[in-house]
Chains A and B, each alone.
Chain A
Amino acid sequence: MSDETKAAIRTFIVENFLFGDDSHPLPADLSLIDNDLIDSTGILELVGFLEERFGVQVADADIVPTNLDTIERIAGFIARKQAA
Protein backbone atom coordinates (compact mmCIF):
# COMPACT_ATOMS: atom_id res chain seq x y z
CA MET A 1 0.00 0.00 0.00
CA SER A 2 1.39 3.38 -0.97
CA ASP A 3 2.25 6.29 1.26
CA GLU A 4 0.31 8.42 -1.21
CA THR A 5 -2.88 6.50 -0.43
CA LYS A 6 -2.33 6.88 3.31
CA ALA A 7 -1.62 10.58 2.91
CA ALA A 8 -4.85 11.11 0.94
CA ILE A 9 -6.88 9.25 3.56
CA ARG A 10 -5.18 11.17 6.35
CA THR A 11 -5.92 14.48 4.65
CA PHE A 12 -9.58 13.52 4.26
CA ILE A 13 -9.86 12.58 7.92
CA VAL A 14 -8.15 15.77 9.10
CA GLU A 15 -10.34 17.95 6.91
CA ASN A 16 -13.63 16.22 7.63
CA PHE A 17 -13.41 14.73 11.11
CA LEU A 18 -10.80 16.96 12.79
CA PHE A 19 -12.05 20.18 11.20
CA GLY A 20 -8.66 20.88 9.62
CA ASP A 21 -6.67 20.51 12.84
CA ASP A 22 -3.57 18.74 11.54
CA SER A 23 -1.75 19.00 14.87
CA HIS A 24 -3.43 15.69 15.83
CA PRO A 25 -0.75 12.96 15.59
CA LEU A 26 -3.19 10.56 13.85
CA PRO A 27 -0.86 7.56 13.57
CA ALA A 28 -1.77 5.04 10.85
CA ASP A 29 -2.75 2.42 13.43
CA LEU A 30 -4.99 4.71 15.52
CA SER A 31 -8.51 3.31 15.88
CA LEU A 32 -10.90 5.84 14.40
CA ILE A 33 -13.82 4.20 16.23
CA ASP A 34 -12.26 3.96 19.69
CA ASN A 35 -11.12 7.57 19.45
CA ASP A 36 -14.58 8.79 18.42
CA LEU A 37 -13.29 10.14 15.14
CA ILE A 38 -15.79 8.25 13.05
CA ASP A 39 -19.38 7.12 13.49
CA SER A 40 -22.26 6.01 11.27
CA THR A 41 -22.38 9.41 9.58
CA GLY A 42 -18.64 9.68 9.19
CA ILE A 43 -18.31 6.23 7.70
CA LEU A 44 -20.74 7.15 4.92
CA GLU A 45 -18.68 10.23 4.12
CA LEU A 46 -15.49 8.17 4.20
CA VAL A 47 -16.92 5.49 1.92
CA GLY A 48 -18.15 8.14 -0.52
CA PHE A 49 -14.64 9.63 -0.55
CA LEU A 50 -12.94 6.25 -1.11
CA GLU A 51 -15.25 5.39 -4.00
CA GLU A 52 -14.72 8.73 -5.67
CA ARG A 53 -11.00 9.24 -4.99
CA PHE A 54 -9.80 5.70 -5.64
CA GLY A 55 -12.41 4.50 -8.13
CA VAL A 56 -13.40 1.46 -6.09
CA GLN A 57 -16.86 0.05 -5.34
CA VAL A 58 -17.42 -0.48 -1.63
CA ALA A 59 -19.95 -3.23 -0.99
CA ASP A 60 -22.21 -3.26 2.04
CA ALA A 61 -20.28 -6.19 3.51
CA ASP A 62 -17.04 -4.20 3.21
CA ILE A 63 -18.24 -1.58 5.68
CA VAL A 64 -16.79 -3.19 8.78
CA PRO A 65 -14.13 -2.07 11.26
CA THR A 66 -11.73 -4.74 9.94
CA ASN A 67 -11.50 -2.74 6.72
CA LEU A 68 -12.06 0.81 7.84
CA ASP A 69 -11.05 1.38 11.47
CA THR A 70 -7.51 2.75 10.91
CA ILE A 71 -5.68 4.57 8.13
CA GLU A 72 -3.54 1.48 7.69
CA ARG A 73 -6.56 -0.82 7.33
CA ILE A 74 -8.26 1.58 4.94
CA ALA A 75 -5.15 1.79 2.77
CA GLY A 76 -4.85 -2.00 2.80
CA PHE A 77 -8.50 -2.32 1.87
CA ILE A 78 -8.06 0.08 -1.06
CA ALA A 79 -5.00 -1.82 -2.24
CA ARG A 80 -6.92 -5.12 -2.17
CA LYS A 81 -9.85 -3.60 -4.01
CA GLN A 82 -7.63 -2.10 -6.69
CA ALA A 83 -5.76 -5.38 -7.13
CA ALA A 84 -8.96 -7.42 -7.45
Chain B
Amino acid sequence: MSSVRSFEAGDVDAVADLFQRLLRKTAEPANDDLKTYLRTLFIDFPAAEPDLRSRVHVRTDGSVSGFLGVLPVEMEFEGRRLKAANCGTFACDDREEDPFAGARLLRDVLAGPQDLSFTETSNDVSTDMWRSMRATVLGPHSLEWLRMIKPASFALKAAAGRLSALRLFNPLARAADAILCRRGEKQNWSHYIPLAGKADAFVDEAVSDAEFADLCRQFVRHFPLRPAWDTPVLETMLGHATRKALHGERIQHVVKTRTGKAVGLYLYYGNPGDIGRTVQIMAAPGQEAIVIDRLMRDAHARGLVAIRGRTQPTLLQAMIGKKCAFLHTSSTIVHSRDPALLDAMANGRVFLNGLAGEGWTRLIGDRFG
Protein backbone atom coordinates (compact mmCIF):
# COMPACT_ATOMS: atom_id res chain seq x y z
CA MET B 1 0.00 0.00 0.00
CA SER B 2 1.21 3.54 -0.74
CA SER B 3 2.42 5.57 2.22
CA VAL B 4 3.81 8.90 3.41
CA ARG B 5 7.11 9.08 5.27
CA SER B 6 10.03 11.40 6.01
CA PHE B 7 12.31 12.48 3.17
CA GLU B 8 15.63 10.65 3.34
CA ALA B 9 18.95 10.93 1.53
CA GLY B 10 18.02 7.92 -0.61
CA ASP B 11 15.03 9.84 -2.01
CA VAL B 12 17.07 12.75 -3.37
CA ASP B 13 17.35 11.45 -6.95
CA ALA B 14 13.62 10.80 -7.23
CA VAL B 15 12.68 14.16 -5.71
CA ALA B 16 15.13 15.99 -7.98
CA ASP B 17 13.45 14.28 -10.92
CA LEU B 18 10.01 15.41 -9.71
CA PHE B 19 11.34 18.95 -9.25
CA GLN B 20 12.70 19.09 -12.80
CA ARG B 21 9.66 17.61 -14.50
CA LEU B 22 6.81 19.09 -12.51
CA LEU B 23 8.10 22.41 -11.17
CA ARG B 24 10.81 23.49 -13.62
CA LYS B 25 8.83 21.81 -16.42
CA THR B 26 11.87 20.59 -18.29
CA ALA B 27 12.75 17.22 -19.79
CA GLU B 28 16.43 17.67 -18.87
CA PRO B 29 17.50 15.16 -16.24
CA ALA B 30 18.28 16.53 -12.78
CA ASN B 31 22.00 17.20 -12.37
CA ASP B 32 24.25 16.63 -9.37
CA ASP B 33 24.16 20.30 -8.37
CA LEU B 34 20.38 20.17 -7.90
CA LYS B 35 20.56 16.85 -6.06
CA THR B 36 23.24 18.13 -3.70
CA TYR B 37 21.23 21.28 -3.10
CA LEU B 38 18.04 19.41 -2.23
CA ARG B 39 19.99 17.41 0.29
CA THR B 40 21.66 20.53 1.72
CA LEU B 41 18.37 22.38 2.03
CA PHE B 42 15.97 19.71 3.21
CA ILE B 43 18.20 17.31 5.12
CA ASP B 44 21.37 19.10 6.28
CA PHE B 45 19.96 22.59 6.92
CA PRO B 46 21.23 23.96 10.28
CA ALA B 47 17.72 24.58 11.64
CA ALA B 48 16.63 20.99 10.86
CA GLU B 49 14.58 19.32 13.56
CA PRO B 50 14.13 15.58 13.73
CA ASP B 51 10.37 15.75 14.20
CA LEU B 52 9.74 18.35 11.51
CA ARG B 53 10.90 16.91 8.22
CA SER B 54 10.02 17.10 4.56
CA ARG B 55 7.75 14.26 3.48
CA VAL B 56 7.53 11.95 0.50
CA HIS B 57 4.63 9.94 -0.86
CA VAL B 58 5.76 6.45 -1.75
CA ARG B 59 3.98 4.04 -4.12
CA THR B 60 3.32 0.42 -3.21
CA ASP B 61 6.49 -0.59 -5.10
CA GLY B 62 8.59 1.78 -2.97
CA SER B 63 9.13 4.46 -5.61
CA VAL B 64 8.62 8.11 -4.70
CA SER B 65 5.62 9.82 -6.31
CA GLY B 66 5.28 13.03 -4.30
CA PHE B 67 7.23 15.50 -2.20
CA LEU B 68 6.38 18.31 0.19
CA GLY B 69 9.43 20.28 1.30
CA VAL B 70 9.38 21.47 4.90
CA LEU B 71 11.86 23.92 6.41
CA PRO B 72 11.58 24.25 10.18
CA VAL B 73 11.50 27.83 11.43
CA GLU B 74 11.74 28.88 15.04
CA MET B 75 9.31 31.73 15.69
CA GLU B 76 8.19 33.75 18.67
CA PHE B 77 4.93 35.29 19.81
CA GLU B 78 4.34 37.16 23.06
CA GLY B 79 7.43 35.69 24.66
CA ARG B 80 6.63 32.14 23.55
CA ARG B 81 8.98 30.17 21.33
CA LEU B 82 7.13 28.38 18.54
CA LYS B 83 7.90 25.79 15.93
CA ALA B 84 6.74 26.58 12.43
CA ALA B 85 6.76 24.49 9.27
CA ASN B 86 7.70 26.53 6.22
CA CYS B 87 6.12 24.41 3.48
CA GLY B 88 7.38 25.10 0.00
CA THR B 89 8.25 22.76 -2.81
CA PHE B 90 5.15 20.63 -3.41
CA ALA B 91 5.11 18.20 -6.32
CA CYS B 92 3.10 15.05 -7.00
CA ASP B 93 3.28 12.65 -9.91
CA ASP B 94 0.60 10.30 -11.17
CA ARG B 95 -2.40 12.50 -10.58
CA GLU B 96 -4.40 10.11 -12.73
CA GLU B 97 -3.17 6.99 -10.97
CA ASP B 98 -3.21 8.27 -7.40
CA PRO B 99 -5.11 11.53 -7.09
CA PHE B 100 -4.93 11.42 -3.31
CA ALA B 101 -1.13 11.61 -2.98
CA GLY B 102 -0.99 15.41 -2.64
CA ALA B 103 -3.84 15.39 -0.13
CA ARG B 104 -2.11 12.78 1.99
CA LEU B 105 1.18 14.68 1.96
CA LEU B 106 -0.40 17.96 2.97
CA ARG B 107 -2.58 16.38 5.63
CA ASP B 108 0.38 14.52 7.06
CA VAL B 109 2.53 17.65 7.26
CA LEU B 110 -0.21 19.82 8.77
CA ALA B 111 -0.85 17.17 11.43
CA GLY B 112 2.78 17.51 12.61
CA PRO B 113 4.04 18.81 15.97
CA GLN B 114 4.50 22.41 14.81
CA ASP B 115 2.50 25.34 16.23
CA LEU B 116 1.88 26.77 12.80
CA SER B 117 2.48 25.98 9.15
CA PHE B 118 2.73 28.33 6.22
CA THR B 119 3.56 28.56 2.55
CA GLU B 120 4.19 31.61 0.38
CA THR B 121 4.24 29.92 -3.00
CA SER B 122 0.94 28.11 -3.21
CA ASN B 123 -0.56 27.77 -6.68
CA ASP B 124 -4.32 27.61 -7.21
CA VAL B 125 -4.55 23.81 -6.84
CA SER B 126 -2.49 23.79 -3.63
CA THR B 127 -4.46 26.74 -2.31
CA ASP B 128 -7.71 24.80 -2.66
CA MET B 129 -6.10 21.90 -0.81
CA TRP B 130 -4.87 24.12 2.01
CA ARG B 131 -8.32 25.70 2.25
CA SER B 132 -9.86 22.26 2.57
CA MET B 133 -7.63 21.78 5.60
CA ARG B 134 -9.14 24.95 7.10
CA ALA B 135 -6.10 27.03 6.40
CA THR B 136 -6.32 30.80 5.92
CA VAL B 137 -5.17 32.67 2.81
CA LEU B 138 -3.50 35.95 3.76
CA GLY B 139 -4.64 38.36 1.04
CA PRO B 140 -2.30 41.26 1.91
CA HIS B 141 0.68 38.86 1.78
CA SER B 142 -0.42 37.22 -1.48
CA LEU B 143 0.03 39.98 -4.02
CA GLU B 144 2.94 40.65 -6.31
CA TRP B 145 3.76 44.34 -6.63
CA LEU B 146 5.28 45.67 -9.82
CA ARG B 147 6.70 49.13 -10.46
CA MET B 148 7.27 49.87 -14.09
CA ILE B 149 10.39 51.96 -14.77
CA LYS B 150 10.78 51.92 -18.55
CA PRO B 151 7.47 50.97 -20.17
CA ALA B 152 8.53 50.12 -23.72
CA SER B 153 11.54 48.07 -22.59
CA PHE B 154 9.38 46.40 -19.95
CA ALA B 155 6.75 45.40 -22.51
CA LEU B 156 9.44 44.07 -24.82
CA LYS B 157 11.14 42.18 -22.00
CA ALA B 158 7.88 40.60 -20.90
CA ALA B 159 7.04 39.56 -24.47
CA ALA B 160 10.58 38.36 -25.23
CA GLY B 161 10.15 35.78 -22.51
CA ARG B 162 7.96 33.95 -25.01
CA LEU B 163 9.50 35.09 -28.29
CA SER B 164 13.22 35.78 -27.96
CA ALA B 165 13.53 37.28 -31.47
CA LEU B 166 11.73 40.35 -30.10
CA ARG B 167 15.02 41.32 -28.42
CA LEU B 168 16.05 42.74 -31.78
CA PHE B 169 13.70 45.63 -31.01
CA ASN B 170 15.61 46.63 -27.86
CA PRO B 171 17.16 49.80 -29.38
CA LEU B 172 13.72 50.92 -30.52
CA ALA B 173 12.27 50.33 -27.07
CA ARG B 174 15.10 52.29 -25.46
CA ALA B 175 14.44 55.22 -27.77
CA ALA B 176 10.72 55.12 -26.96
CA ASP B 177 11.49 55.07 -23.24
CA ALA B 178 13.80 58.05 -23.57
CA ILE B 179 10.91 60.06 -24.99
CA LEU B 180 8.24 58.73 -22.61
CA CYS B 181 10.32 59.22 -19.48
CA ARG B 182 11.07 62.87 -20.33
CA ARG B 183 7.42 63.81 -20.06
CA GLY B 184 6.08 65.55 -16.97
CA GLU B 185 7.41 66.15 -13.52
CA LYS B 186 4.95 63.90 -11.71
CA GLN B 187 5.19 60.21 -11.04
CA ASN B 188 3.19 58.15 -13.48
CA TRP B 189 2.24 54.48 -13.29
CA SER B 190 3.68 53.93 -16.78
CA HIS B 191 7.24 54.99 -15.96
CA TYR B 192 9.46 55.97 -13.06
CA ILE B 193 11.65 58.98 -12.64
CA PRO B 194 13.35 59.85 -9.35
CA LEU B 195 11.85 63.07 -8.03
CA ALA B 196 13.15 65.23 -5.21
CA GLY B 197 11.69 64.18 -1.90
CA LYS B 198 12.24 62.82 1.59
CA ALA B 199 14.28 59.93 0.25
CA ASP B 200 17.03 62.42 -0.65
CA ALA B 201 17.86 62.69 3.03
CA PHE B 202 18.88 59.01 3.09
CA VAL B 203 21.66 56.96 1.56
CA ASP B 204 21.95 53.29 0.78
CA GLU B 205 25.03 51.13 0.65
CA ALA B 206 26.00 47.51 0.16
CA VAL B 207 26.34 45.44 3.32
CA SER B 208 27.90 42.12 4.22
CA ASP B 209 25.75 39.10 5.07
CA ALA B 210 26.71 39.46 8.74
CA GLU B 211 25.56 43.08 8.95
CA PHE B 212 22.46 42.38 6.88
CA ALA B 213 21.58 39.49 9.22
CA ASP B 214 21.94 41.74 12.27
CA LEU B 215 19.68 44.35 10.69
CA CYS B 216 17.07 41.73 9.77
CA ARG B 217 16.97 40.62 13.39
CA GLN B 218 16.57 44.25 14.46
CA PHE B 219 13.77 45.17 12.01
CA VAL B 220 11.76 42.00 12.51
CA ARG B 221 11.32 42.76 16.22
CA HIS B 222 8.33 45.03 15.76
CA PHE B 223 6.23 42.18 14.38
CA PRO B 224 4.44 40.42 17.29
CA LEU B 225 4.62 37.04 15.50
CA ARG B 226 8.01 36.68 13.88
CA PRO B 227 10.89 34.36 13.05
CA ALA B 228 13.33 34.00 15.94
CA TRP B 229 16.31 33.86 13.60
CA ASP B 230 19.63 33.21 15.19
CA THR B 231 22.59 34.74 13.41
CA PRO B 232 24.18 31.52 12.06
CA VAL B 233 20.87 30.35 10.54
CA LEU B 234 20.19 33.74 8.96
CA GLU B 235 23.72 33.95 7.58
CA THR B 236 23.33 30.46 6.15
CA MET B 237 20.10 31.57 4.48
CA LEU B 238 21.82 34.64 3.02
CA GLY B 239 24.58 32.33 1.83
CA HIS B 240 21.94 30.37 -0.09
CA ALA B 241 20.68 33.67 -1.52
CA THR B 242 24.11 34.68 -2.84
CA ARG B 243 23.31 33.64 -6.37
CA LYS B 244 20.17 33.61 -8.47
CA ALA B 245 21.50 33.16 -11.97
CA LEU B 246 18.05 33.42 -13.56
CA HIS B 247 17.26 36.68 -11.78
CA GLY B 248 20.56 38.55 -12.10
CA GLU B 249 23.03 40.37 -9.88
CA ARG B 250 22.32 40.44 -6.15
CA ILE B 251 21.83 43.89 -4.59
CA GLN B 252 21.88 43.76 -0.79
CA HIS B 253 21.65 47.24 0.71
CA VAL B 254 21.01 48.99 3.97
CA VAL B 255 19.21 52.36 3.95
CA LYS B 256 20.64 54.90 6.39
CA THR B 257 20.13 58.47 7.50
CA ARG B 258 23.00 60.79 6.67
CA THR B 259 24.14 60.39 10.27
CA GLY B 260 24.47 56.65 9.74
CA LYS B 261 21.35 55.31 11.51
CA ALA B 262 19.92 52.31 9.68
CA VAL B 263 16.21 52.68 8.84
CA GLY B 264 15.73 49.76 6.52
CA LEU B 265 17.16 47.28 4.06
CA TYR B 266 16.39 45.64 0.77
CA LEU B 267 17.57 42.60 -1.16
CA TYR B 268 16.81 42.25 -4.84
CA TYR B 269 18.22 40.69 -8.01
CA GLY B 270 18.41 42.16 -11.48
CA ASN B 271 20.62 43.10 -14.39
CA PRO B 272 20.35 46.25 -16.53
CA GLY B 273 17.52 45.82 -19.01
CA ASP B 274 15.81 43.18 -16.86
CA ILE B 275 12.89 43.07 -14.47
CA GLY B 276 14.29 43.11 -10.94
CA ARG B 277 13.04 40.63 -8.33
CA THR B 278 12.86 41.75 -4.74
CA VAL B 279 13.23 39.10 -2.06
CA GLN B 280 13.04 41.32 1.00
CA ILE B 281 12.27 44.86 2.12
CA MET B 282 12.40 45.62 5.85
CA ALA B 283 12.12 48.94 7.63
CA ALA B 284 11.91 50.58 11.00
CA PRO B 285 8.23 51.34 11.79
CA GLY B 286 7.05 54.28 9.70
CA GLN B 287 10.06 54.23 7.36
CA GLU B 288 8.71 51.72 4.84
CA ALA B 289 7.93 54.36 2.19
CA ILE B 290 11.46 55.75 2.38
CA VAL B 291 13.02 52.30 1.95
CA ILE B 292 10.74 51.55 -0.99
CA ASP B 293 11.71 54.87 -2.60
CA ARG B 294 15.41 54.12 -2.14
CA LEU B 295 14.92 50.66 -3.68
CA MET B 296 13.13 52.12 -6.70
CA ARG B 297 15.81 54.76 -7.18
CA ASP B 298 18.49 52.09 -7.06
CA ALA B 299 16.64 49.91 -9.57
CA HIS B 300 16.23 52.93 -11.85
CA ALA B 301 19.90 53.91 -11.54
CA ARG B 302 20.97 50.36 -12.45
CA GLY B 303 18.93 50.44 -15.64
CA LEU B 304 16.26 47.93 -14.70
CA VAL B 305 13.05 48.15 -16.74
CA ALA B 306 10.81 47.28 -13.77
CA ILE B 307 11.06 45.95 -10.27
CA ARG B 308 8.71 43.53 -8.55
CA GLY B 309 8.33 41.73 -5.25
CA ARG B 310 5.88 40.23 -2.79
CA THR B 311 3.65 42.33 -0.58
CA GLN B 312 3.45 42.40 3.18
CA PRO B 313 0.71 44.45 4.88
CA THR B 314 2.99 47.30 5.98
CA LEU B 315 4.64 47.45 2.55
CA LEU B 316 1.28 47.38 0.80
CA GLN B 317 0.20 50.36 2.87
CA ALA B 318 3.40 52.26 2.07
CA MET B 319 3.10 51.51 -1.66
CA ILE B 320 -0.21 53.32 -1.99
CA GLY B 321 0.53 56.37 -4.13
CA LYS B 322 3.75 54.95 -5.53
CA LYS B 323 2.09 53.92 -8.80
CA CYS B 324 2.65 50.21 -8.33
CA ALA B 325 0.57 47.55 -10.04
CA PHE B 326 -0.58 44.58 -7.97
CA LEU B 327 -1.38 41.11 -9.22
CA HIS B 328 -1.82 37.68 -7.76
CA THR B 329 0.48 34.86 -8.84
CA SER B 330 0.66 32.63 -5.77
CA SER B 331 -0.71 32.69 -2.26
CA THR B 332 0.61 32.95 1.26
CA ILE B 333 -1.39 30.56 3.41
CA VAL B 334 -1.23 29.79 7.12
CA HIS B 335 -2.53 26.93 9.23
CA SER B 336 -2.64 26.66 13.00
CA ARG B 337 -4.81 25.14 15.66
CA ASP B 338 -4.06 28.07 17.99
CA PRO B 339 -6.69 30.85 17.67
CA ALA B 340 -4.30 33.52 19.01
CA LEU B 341 -1.74 32.73 16.31
CA LEU B 342 -4.41 32.66 13.63
CA ASP B 343 -5.70 36.02 14.80
CA ALA B 344 -2.20 37.53 14.68
CA MET B 345 -1.59 36.15 11.19
CA ALA B 346 -4.98 37.14 9.78
CA ASN B 347 -4.60 40.68 11.11
CA GLY B 348 -1.21 41.61 9.70
CA ARG B 349 0.82 41.07 12.87
CA VAL B 350 3.06 38.38 11.41
CA PHE B 351 6.27 38.62 9.43
CA LEU B 352 6.03 36.23 6.48
CA ASN B 353 7.35 35.98 2.89
CA GLY B 354 10.87 36.44 1.55
CA LEU B 355 13.35 35.45 4.22
CA ALA B 356 10.40 34.00 6.14
CA GLY B 357 9.43 31.91 3.16
CA GLU B 358 11.19 30.35 0.22
CA GLY B 359 12.49 33.42 -1.61
CA TRP B 360 16.03 33.04 -0.25
CA THR B 361 16.54 29.49 -1.52
CA ARG B 362 18.25 28.66 -4.78
CA LEU B 363 15.11 26.76 -5.81
CA ILE B 364 13.66 30.11 -6.77
CA GLY B 365 15.63 31.90 -9.45
CA ASP B 366 18.87 29.97 -9.66
CA ARG B 367 20.22 27.69 -12.35
CA PHE B 368 21.68 24.33 -11.38
CA GLY B 369 24.72 22.79 -12.95
Binding site for B on A (CB under 8 A): 33, 38-45, 47-48, 60-61, 63-65, 68
Contact = CB atoms under 8 A, between A and B. Distances in A.
B132 A44 contact: yes
B132 A60 contact: no
Contact of A40 (B3, B99, B111): B99
Interface string B92-106: 100100111111101
Ranked 4 nearest A-B pairs via Cβ: A44-B132, A40-B102, A41-B128, A40-B103
B108 A40 contact: no
Given A60-B4, A64-B2, A47 B107 contact: yes
B99 A60 contact: no
B55 to A, nearest CB: 10
Given A44-B106, A60-B107, A65 B100 contact: yes
Contacts of B131: 41
B1 A44 contact: no
Nearest to A68: B100
Contacts of B103: 40-41, 43-44, 47, 63
19 contacts: A38-B99, A39-B99, A40-B95, A40-B100, A40-B102, A40-B103, A40-B106, A41-B103, A41-B128, A41-B132, A44-B107, A44-B132, A48-B134, A60-B4, A60-B104, A60-B108, A61-B3, A63-B103, A64-B2
Interface residues of B, number: 24
Contacts of A39: 95, 99
A40 B133 CA distance: 11
Among B99, B128, B133: residue with most chain A CB under 10 A: B99
A40 to B, nearest CB: 4
B132 A45 contact: yes
B103 to A, nearest CB: 4
Contacts of B207: none
B91 to A, nearest CB: 12
Interface in B127-162: 128-129, 131-134
A46 to B, nearest CB: 9
A13 to B, nearest CB: 15
A47 B104 CA distance: 11
A44 B108 contact: no
B133 to A, nearest CB: 6
A39 B101 CA distance: 10
A37 B16 CA distance: 31
